[in-house]
Amino acid sequence: MKAVIMAGGRGKRIASLDSSIPKPMFRLCGKPILEYQLQWLKKQEIDEVILVTGYLGHVIREYFGDGTGAAPEGGRNIGIPLKYINEESPLGTAGALYYLKDTMKEDFLLINGDIIFDIDLERFYKAHQTFGGLATILTHPNDHPFDSGIIEADEKGLVRKWLHKEDKRKWYGNRVNAGIHILSPGLFLHAERRGLFKQPQRVDLDREILRPLIEDRQLYAYMSPEYVKDMGTPERYRMVERDLLKGKVEKRNLSRRQKAVFLDRDGTMNEYRGYIRTPEDLVLLPGTGKAVKRLNESGYLVIVVTNQPVIARGELTEEQLREIHDRMETLLGEQGAYVDDIFYCPHHPDGGFPGEVASLKIPCSCRKPEPGMLLKAADKYNIDLKNSWMAGDSERDMRAGKAAGCHTAGVGGLQNADFTCGSLAEFVDFLLGREEGD
């Protein structure tokens, strides 16, 4: 597979750190962002990398040369052949693809040049092949969704809506475009039919190439909790440098075993108000945002597992449940926190409710105290259950956690748990304090 890196960015917000180099050449722990990217691509056995340069592009070319150290001008020996497309005038985030339309005959990777990441490419590519669309974008939750592009996709990964920063939004799921894409060659024909790539011109990748694929059901999203962060501001830059020093970046690659904290929802994260039927009914408990944020920063995956029998009883649709969870993710995002995924059980074994959904009135393996949701998450994210925790406020949460092989934390003074605590915040204090002690 070939890879294309869009390395022409100037980085206006981060230029205060150093305006003499292009954004992809900013150094983290003594090494340019772009060098981290190229070293990762080498590990993934990428055949060739095409660097699209612009602002101060000569700095990149002089540093890397042809990637093998064999070019007349020398350069860093990365071990991957490098080619360059230099934009004499800015062509936006996708205009330079015009120069590749006749040479890209197979699926290829397209990466933003200002991100640090470590992902399992094999998983990502298998998902793209399964989806069968013209493009698959990697999406992830982040700690600033309010100023990011939000992707809405169905359970099969098909993108239904793309909200840009300027688009009106109320409640939204924290599923953000990460800047890593797998594109199929048919994408060029799709763009040409819309009048693009007839000649070199300024083109916006998200708005003019990818977003129009939604109507034709050709755009898919691959959701991943793996490490992907941009260096858009000096604050994020310093955060990424800390994460590199701690080894956090490579640990989140899903080829490695992950640790998770599974959280019950009602009574653990938000106020218990019986069955919640509207977004406004969901109110986070004090300290929830801060506790979840600390788990995010610690490297634990944070996964919600919740029984929702109101769906089987016909009192709530799955779309309405999505809106409730969108509010929860919005409220967490406002505090710089996020959950990596949400699993819910829509079943209920008992009948006799007006409007009930007969197909969901069944015994199942996912309704807590059964461990099905935890086991499904473990399979999806390569989770080491014996080093993970289930935190909840009911006996069924504890039984589900134990059945899955996890440690258990009883919230609200719940006994019969490995650790009993008054709140989620107290549990996080205990968990992270114990790890610091180790």
Set 143, 230, 243, 264: catalytic member: 264
Helix (H) or strand (E) holding 431: helix 424-437
184/219 Cα distance (integer angstroms): 11
Interatomic CA distance for residues 158 and 133, integer angstroms: 9
C-alpha dist (Å) from residue 377 to 158, 267, 275, 294, 341: 20, 21, 24, 21, 8
Is the separation of the CB atoms in 270 and 288 below 8 Å? yes
Residue type, 112: N
Task: Quote the CA–CA distance of 142 and 240 in Å, as a whole number.
Answer: 13
Listing DSSP states for 221-252 in one string gives EEE--SEEEE--SHHHHHHHHHHHHHTHHHHT
Residue 352, classified by CB atoms within 10 Å of its CB into exposed (0-12), middle (13-18) or buried (19+), is exposed
393 is catalytic: no
Task: Pick the catalytic residue from 66, 107, 266, 341.
Answer: 266
d(CA 191, CA 175): 25
* Residues in CB range of 404: below 8 A, 6 or more apart: 371, 374, 375, 378, 385, 390
Written as one string, the DSSP assignment of 134-181 is: SEEEEEE--S-GGGS-EEEE-TTSBEEEEE-TTS--SS----EEEEEE
Is 264 among the catalytic positions? yes
Which positions are catalytic?
264, 266
